[in-house]
């Protein structure tokens, strides 16, 4: 056991340092997202969605750095990552609308002026909608019309249409203390 630890001492030290630094960066990014969420009075479920995106980003960075630390060459690593990204690129191109909705969901997190509980009007010439925002998800908004109908409206369309605030709703503070 001692021989293994002594022969891989540098790799183990680099791994420990990398994990600690990435955990600190993850903590800072999560705190920043939480602060943005509180300052913008963004519902905690949307903030938790940003936490998931941060976790995925940190995981990808950790996989890259730890692969380098344990002796995977840069050429091999770039080959693996380029192959994975090529396959993902083709797959995501085939389902580009999902990718655009996820991207729109991130944009909505930081810049959407309306909150859960607000009554909005979406100015669409084909289907004008007046509804209350029930939830804001990664791919779509849940809107409840005055007739009680539930509409799922894609995030990428909400960024493309004119939206008017009809009535400010009551904010739900559930989970405000959660991080």
Are residues 76 and 11 part of one domain?
yes
Last residue of a domain, one of 37, 66, 94: 94
Contact present, 154 and 140 (Cβ < 8 Å): yes
The pLDDT score that the predictor gives to residue 171 is: 56
Are residues 81 and 26 part of one domain?
yes
- Coil vs helix vs strand at 144: strand
Are residues 90 and 24 part of one domain?
yes
Last residue of a domain, one of 94, 126, 157: 94
Are residues 84 and 10 part of one domain?
yes
Evaluate if pTM is beyond 0.75: no
Are residues 121 and 89 part of one domain?
no
Are residues 74 and 42 part of one domain?
yes
Are residues 83 and 17 part of one domain?
yes
Are residues 121 and 64 part of one domain?
no
Are residues 125 and 159 part of one domain?
yes
Exposure b/e, 30-64, CB count within 10 A at least 16 = b:
beebbeebeebebbbbbbbbbbebbeeebeeebee
CA distance 179 to 51: 9
Helices first, then strands: H and E counts in the chain: 6, 5
Count of the separate structural domains present in the chain = 2
Tens-digit pLDDT string for the chain (179 aa): 778 777 888 888 999 999 999 999 999 999 998 888 888 777 788 888 889 889 998 998 998 888 888 888 778 878 887 888 888 777 767 677 777 888 888 888 777 788 888 899 999 888 889 999 998 888 888 999 999 999 999 888 888 888 888 988 765 544 444 44
Q: Is the Cα dihedral 166, 167, 173, 176 positive or negative?
A: positive
Are residues 125 and 89 part of one domain?
no
- Coil vs helix vs strand at 40: coil
Are residues 90 and 16 part of one domain?
yes
Last residue of a domain, one of 36, 65, 94: 94
Instruction: Answer yes or no: is 103 within a domain.
Output: no
Helix (H) or strand (E) holding 101: helix 96-111
Could you give the angle at which helices 9-39 and 96-111 cross, rounded to 10 degrees? 60
Are residues 27 and 74 part of one domain?
yes
Query: Which range marks the domain in which residue 134 is found?
Result: 114-167
CA distance 4 to 104: 48
- Phi, psi dihedral angles at 21 (to 5 degrees): -65, -45
Distances (CA, A) of 64 to 69, 77, 88, 103, 137: 9, 8, 17, 23, 29
């Amino acid at each position: 056991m001692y021989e293994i630890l002594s022969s891989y001492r540098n790799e183990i030290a680099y791994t420990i340092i990398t994990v600690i630094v990435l955990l600190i960066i993850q903590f800072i990014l999560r705190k920043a997202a939480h602060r943005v969420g509180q300052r913008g009075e963004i519902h905690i479920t949307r903030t938790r969605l940003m936490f998931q995106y941060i976790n995925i980003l940190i995981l990808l960075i950790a996989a890259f750095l730890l692969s380098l630390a344990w002796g995977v060459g840069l050429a091999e690593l770039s080959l693996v990552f380029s192959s994975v990204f090529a396959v993902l690129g083709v797959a995501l191109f085939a389902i580009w609308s999902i990718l655009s909705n996820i991207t729109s969901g991130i944009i909505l997190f930081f810049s959407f002026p309306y909150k859960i509980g607000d009554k909005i009007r979406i100015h669409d010439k084909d289907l004008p909608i007046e509804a209350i925002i029930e939830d804001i998800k990664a791919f779509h908004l849940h809107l409840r019309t005055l007739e009680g109908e539930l509409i799922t409206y894609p995030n990428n369309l909400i960024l493309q249409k004119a939206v008017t605030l009809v009535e400010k709703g009551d904010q739900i503070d559930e989970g405000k203390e959660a991080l």
